Every structure is written in C-alpha cells, then in structure tokens.
C-alpha cells in the first residue's frame, strides 16, 4: 500500500494487510479475527462437523497445517481435536517437522498421534529412490498420507479429518485435472468428502476459501512455530509451478482463484455429478481398504517396493 490508511473494520488501528479480492484493508488484530471467522463460516456453510464430534487435524509439516490447527481450535474451542502426523521417515525433515508440532501440542493442549512409517511398516519414503515411483514422488507421498491418516482416524474412532488444503491447493488440482481431462476426479475436490467405504472417515477442507498467503500472514502475526525447511522431495514439483502460474493471474486479477473455484464447484462439478456414476469400490485383498481393482494404490506401491528392493515391509 502506498499510503497509511485506517483499518476498515475497527477504524482505529493502522491498516497493514490488504485483501484486494474483498477490497478490504485490515489491521493485524482484525485480520486475525477475520481469518478465524472465515474458518468458522466455512465449516458451518458446508456442515463439515458438529460441535459434539471428535475431529482429527492432519499435520503435513508445513505452515498451512499450523494455521489450520490454530484456526480450528480458536474457532471451535469446545470441540475435541486430535492432531495426526504421518512420519514418512525423511531424516532431517522429520526432525524439523516435529519441533514446531510439539510446541503447538503444548500451547493448545491437544492430543497428538504420530504414525511412523519406518517403525510401523519397515520402510521410508526415500526408499522409493531409483524406482518408477520416484519421478512422481509427491503423488506417492499423497497416497500414503491419505491412507494412513484415514487409518489412524478410524482406529481412534474420530468422526472426520481436516486437511490443510487452501484455495490455492484446491484450484491448482482442479486446474490440473481439467487440463488432463480427468473430469470425474473433480468430484473429489469438494469441501466435504463423505466415506465411500466402511473403514474410512469423513474428510473436510476448512481452508478451502482461504488463500495460502493469508495462512502465512496469520501464522506470522500469531507468532506460531512452523517448519522453516520445505520438504526436500518437493523441489521442481509440477504443482508448485502451476500454483505460481495461478498466483500470477491472481496478481493481475484479484479474486481470480475464488471465481475459478466457484465455476468449478457450482457449474462443472454439478454437471459431472448428474451424468457420472462413480466406480464401485471393492475391498483391497491385502489391507481391506477401498480399491478399484482389488489392490489399493498404497498396497501396490508397498508390494512393488518390497519386491524391488528386497525390504522387510509389513504389508496389510
């Protein structure tokens, strides 16, 4: 901003944060309230959970996860939350990820559940180096995290799991699916995904209407701890490049991502739901989870890795 202006909400303090998409300038205190209120309204609008339900929060070892944990607890102080962290065994990064997580647990008094892939299954994500899955390791990482987060949540008897997907994340995936012609998969980007299989729990996205930069701003204002090192396996990922492209559009046309998300959800996704019949899921022969062909994506990768590298992996 080129000149000093008063906060457009309280009218007293200096406006420091500009929300161009909403034509708002807010002070830090009012922005914090705005951020928490947006999460509250998003949860209520999409009926993500009720106050008496037990909710898991997926910790992805990034700033977005920290913002989600804090924002949800601040918005719904009476709700019972559990943090779920799937440790994939990346050596240095695992240590970096745990430091702020332990601080958050102590600050908010919330329960933490860590599922260690090396300890529980006998391998880590970096064991995929030199295999056909390494080139798209982010996809494999996502499959493993989704599976084991759902597994832990189900074992704990939780009603839903909140993931830290922001507006940027959801629009980038929708954009990619659209370009790849995978229109039916757009349905999976809805704010609430209800269980399609007995051993799953509801998945929700409370940050679906929030920009990534807003989460960063909130975390900085609150002085919350977060991992300062980005995942070392993420470098050069296609999603990172496409998110940058979308941000460039947003810079020249404020609210671009919000408009795109609205078009996808209110027009395209509804058309797909009317004409598309989702495939019937069957029980995975190995782990009992949901699959399309009899063996789920998680088990396909674990069996492949076990046989390819002769590892003693506990599959199932």
Show me where the domains of the chain are located. 46-276, 279-316
Say whether pLDDT at 231 is over 80. Answer: no
DSSP 125: G
Q: Which of 87-96, 111-120, 122-131 has the lowest mean pLDDT?
A: 87-96
306 by DSSP, 3-state: which? helix
Q: Are 139 and 177 in contact (CB under 8 A)?
A: no
242 by DSSP, 3-state: which? helix
Q: Which residue intervals of 76-129 are DSSP H helices?
A: 91-108, 117-121
pTM, to two decimals? 0.93
Residue with tokens 């996205």: 205
DSSP 190: S
Residue with tokens 């396909």: 300
C-alpha to C-alpha distance for 228 and 3, rounded to whole angstroms: 32
Residues 264-308: pLDDT tens digits? 888 888 888 888 887 888 999 999 999 998 999 999 999 999 999
Res 237: pLDDT:
67
CB count within 10 Å of CB 56 equals: 28
Res 2: pLDDT:
47
Q: What is the mean pLDDT of residues 117-127?
A: 95
Residue 223: strand pairing partners:
none
Q: Are 189 and 14 in contact (CB under 8 A)?
A: no
Q: Which of 1-10, 60-69, 99-108, 219-228 has the lowest mean pLDDT?
A: 1-10
Q: How many CA atoms lie within 13 A of 297 on its CB side?
A: 13
CB count within 10 Å of CB 210 equals: 24
CATH topology of domain 46-276: Rossmann fold (3.40.50)
Question: CB under 8 Å to 47, separation ≥6 — which residues?
Answer: 192
Residues 158-190: pLDDT tens digits? 999 999 999 999 999 988 888 888 888 888 889
Question: CB under 8 Å to 194, separation ≥6 — which residues?
Answer: 202
Q: What is the mean pLDDT of residues 217-232?
A: 90
C-alpha to C-alpha distance for 131 and 197, rounded to whole angstroms: 30
């Amino acid at each position: 901003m080129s000149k000093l202006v008063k906060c457009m909400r309280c009218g007293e303090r200096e406006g420091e944060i500009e929300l161009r998409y909403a034509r708002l300038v807010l002070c830090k205190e009012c922005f914090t309230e705005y951020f928490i209120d947006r999460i509250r309204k998003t949860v209520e609008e999409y009926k993500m959970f009720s106050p008496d339900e037990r909710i898991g929060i997926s910790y992805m070892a990034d700033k977005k996860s920290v913002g989600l944990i804090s924002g949800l607890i601040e918005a719904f102080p009476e709700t019972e939350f559990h943090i779920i962290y799937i440790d994939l065994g990346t050596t240095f990064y695992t240590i970096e990820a745990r430091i702020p997580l332990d601080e958050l647990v102590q600050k908010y008094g919330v329960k933490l559940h860590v599922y260690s892939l090396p300890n529980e299954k006998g391998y880590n994500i970096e064991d995929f180096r030199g295999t056909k899955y390494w080139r798209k390791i982010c996809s494999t990482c996502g499959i493993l995290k989704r599976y084991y987060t759902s597994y832990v949540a189900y074992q704990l008897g939780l009603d839903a799991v909140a993931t830290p997907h922001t507006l940027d994340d959801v629009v980038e995936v929708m954009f990619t699916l659209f370009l790849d012609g995978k229109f039916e998969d757009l349905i999976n980007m809805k704010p609430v995904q209800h269980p399609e299989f007995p051993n799953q729990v509801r998945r929700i996205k409370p940050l679906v209407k929030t920009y990534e930069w807003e989460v960063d701003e909130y975390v900085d204002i609150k002085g919350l701890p977060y991992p300062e090192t980005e995942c070392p396996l993420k470098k050069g990922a296609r999603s990172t490049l496409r998110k940058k492209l979308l941000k460039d559009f947003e810079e020249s046309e404020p609210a671009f991502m919000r408009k795109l998300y609205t078009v996808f959800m209110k027009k395209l996704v509804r058309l797909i739901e009317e004409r598309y019949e989702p495939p019937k899921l069957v029980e995975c022969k190995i782990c009992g989870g949901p699959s399309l062909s009899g063996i789920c994506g998680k088990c396909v990768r674990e069996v492949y890795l076990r046989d390819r590298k002769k590892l003693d992996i506990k599959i199932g």
